[in-house]
Amino acid sequence: MKIQKLFAVLIACTFYITAAHAQLGGLGKKLLEKGTDIASGGGLNKILKQPQAISTSFKDVNKTGSKPPSFMEGQQPEPLYLLPKAPGGGFKLCAGFFEMTNKSYCLHAGTHGPSKGDGYMLAPVLGPKADVVILILKNAEKHPEVKQRSIQVLLWAIVARTRFADFGTDIKLTATTLLSPQELLMLEGGALGVLPASVMAKAKDQLPPAAQSVFEAENNIRQLAASGNASYEEMEKYALLAGVAQADPEVPSGIWSLHPDGYYIRYFPRGYSITRMQIYVPKELIDAKPDLVYDGPKGIACPANVGAQRLAQTNEPLNADYSQKLKTNCNPL
């Protein structure tokens, strides 16, 4: 069975990479034609009503049970990554206060990066591509050879609603490394072609200002993703708006969210690629639920500031020091 699976993966990689090379010639023209076709005959309304690949917004945040930034003030957290790993990914929790600085990813093109005063709270991963995004983030941990920037470019292509068939060679290679042939099928559906300038102008006229920048950024990213030679820096120009959006004073930086499983969590982003997160697990919670697991990719750090980027989380610590020892008495099952 292992040999058969490996053979299937190799065939899929060869097929997709060969197909990508074959597309490069007239690909831009074909995509523009596709975009024009979609937008004609009343298709523009269809485009505007199509859901974002990842649709999570601050409206999806449950603020019930949240705590102010001063909660746990004066307490010293221990490294979360020293907790035992769970079989399905993530960390087995025990009672205590923990912290980890981990890789994170932008899941909202055409918005501003996190700023110092932005309050971020826990939100679920929602949208047509939620499952495949979670899979990519979880599988990335098993593939340290795949660079964080390559994964970010793949995620930008997905949130921009680019068809897998239109991915450039490098993006396809990242996708086929992180996903099985069956999982790759999850990338199809709900995609758009590259929309020409005339269609973009009509669409933007029907959108509020905040949505216009996102819509335009996604279209530019689709075009770059399909070009076959787009760099991380080029994509970032469209994904990340210059300047700083206004923070929401009612949701301060360092606010704690109550996780649905009963523990508390908060986020301190450093740009979009690094997030320091903290977790507090009450002892009475572990006494009642001894098998609790924290699994980063299953939640999004969502900003109250609608002009800032929502951030996918991972279980991958940065600058981990495994020579440290836990002081907390932790005996997970």
Tokens representing residue 69 in the block? 């930034």
**Domain assignment of residue 302, yes or no:** yes
- What CA–CA distance (Å, rounded) separates 166 from 52? 18
Q: Which residues contact 35 (CB under 8 A, 6 or more apart)?
A: 192, 193, 194, 195, 196, 199
- What CA–CA distance (Å, rounded) separates 187 from 313? 20
Same domain, yes or no: 46 and 177: yes
Listed in order, strand segments (DSSP E) in the chain are 78-79, 91-92, 96-106, 111-112, 120-124, 240-241, 257-258, 264-270, 274-281, 293-294, 299-303, 311-317
**Domain assignment of residue 325, yes or no:** no
Same domain, yes or no: 203 and 135: yes
Tell which of 178, 199, 234 closes a domain: 234
Same domain, yes or no: 46 and 157: yes
**Domain assignment of residue 186, yes or no:** yes
User: Judging by DSSP bridges, how do beta strands 293-294 and 91-92 pair with one another?
Assistant: antiparallel
Q: Supply the pLDDT for residue 205.
A: 73
Same domain, yes or no: 140 and 225: yes
What pLDDT, in 10s, does the model give residues 196-230?
666 777 766 777 777 777 888 888 898 898 887 77
**Domain assignment of residue 311, yes or no:** yes
Same domain, yes or no: 206 and 227: yes
Same domain, yes or no: 70 and 103: yes
Q: Supply the pLDDT for residue 131.
A: 97
Place of tokens 């098993």: 142
**Domain assignment of residue 327, yes or no:** no
Tell which of 234, 262, 295 closes a domain: 234
**Domain assignment of residue 240, yes or no:** no
Mean pLDDT of 270-285: 96
What pLDDT, in 10s, does the model give residues 11-66?
444 444 344 333 334 444 444 444 444 444 456 676 667 788 999 999 999 999 99
Which one has a higher pLDDT value, 49 or 171? 171
Q: What is the reported pTM?
A: 0.83
Same domain, yes or no: 112 and 230: no
**Domain assignment of residue 323, yes or no:** no
Q: What is the DSSP letter of 255?
A: P
Tokens representing residue 280 in the block? 């507090």
Q: Is 202 exposed, middle or buried (0-12, 13-18, 19+ CB in 10 A)?
A: middle
User: Judging by DSSP bridges, how do beta strands 240-241 and 111-112 pair with one another?
Assistant: parallel
Same domain, yes or no: 76 and 181: no
Same domain, yes or no: 49 and 141: yes
In which element (H, E) is residue 39 found?
helix 27-39
Same domain, yes or no: 268 and 297: yes
Same domain, yes or no: 230 and 252: no
What pLDDT, in 10s, does the model give residues 64-85?
999 999 999 999 999 999 999 9
Overall number of domains in the chain: 2
Q: What is the DSSP letter of 58?
A: G
Q: Which residues contact 327 (CB under 8 A, 6 or more apart)?
A: 78
- What CA–CA distance (Å, rounded) separates 101 from 275? 6
Which one has a higher pLDDT value, 37 or 256? 256
Boundaries of domain holding 116: 58-123+247-317
Average pLDDT, the chain: 84
What pLDDT, in 10s, does the model give residues 113-157?
887 778 999 999 999 999 999 999 999 999 999 999 999 999 999
Note whether 191 and 163 are within 8 A (CB).
Answer: yes
Q: Of 236, 225, 204, 202, which is closest to residue 110 (Cα–Cα)?
A: 236
**Domain assignment of residue 242, yes or no:** no
Same domain, yes or no: 45 and 143: yes
Tell which of 165, 200, 234 closes a domain: 234
Angle at Cα 282 formed by Cα 281 and Cα 285, nearest 5°? 95
